[in-house]
Amino acid sequence: MTTTITIRIDAAEYADHDDCLTAAAEGYRARHGLAAYEVREPRWEDGQRDGILIDMQGRYVVYVIDSPECDSIDRDRPLFASQNDREAEEAAEYYAGEYPYGCAILDTETGEIDYGVAVDD
């Protein structure tokens, strides 16, 4: 099963670029070693242009863990998606330190959540 997620990127990171949308998508691709076809056309989040949205598809989705018990995910905050579980693990490890409780990987085919990328105290 493949699911589509929307990832939000802070537009301020790309304010100095002539084409913020393309720069944000290219930056995300480069950060994760993705091919151009893996990240869909970027777009503005809203009229304020505070955020840039990009879509990705994949079986494995990396989410932010939203509780100190590391037993639930914030489904409104996807960070990465891939058909490849190893790519998802690498992305979860990349993002884990940016969030207080780390990241988890949801297998959209089985519904199982791997909390193995939680931040250690």
**63 to 22, 34, 81: CA distances (angstroms):** 24, 18, 9
Task: Report the distance separating Cα 60 and Cα 97, nearest Å.
Answer: 19
Percent of the chain at pLDDT > 90 equals 55
pLDDT in tens, 109-120: 999 999 876 555
Q: Taking phi first (over 0 means left), then psi (-120 to 50 degrees means alpha), and beta for anything else, what does residue 49 get?
A: left
Output the average pLDDT for the chain: 88
pLDDT in tens, 88-113: 999 999 888 888 888 999 999 999 99
Q: What contacts 69, CB < 8 A, 6 or more positions away?
A: none
pLDDT in tens, 58-72: 999 999 998 888 888
Q: What is the pLDDT of residue 41?
A: 85
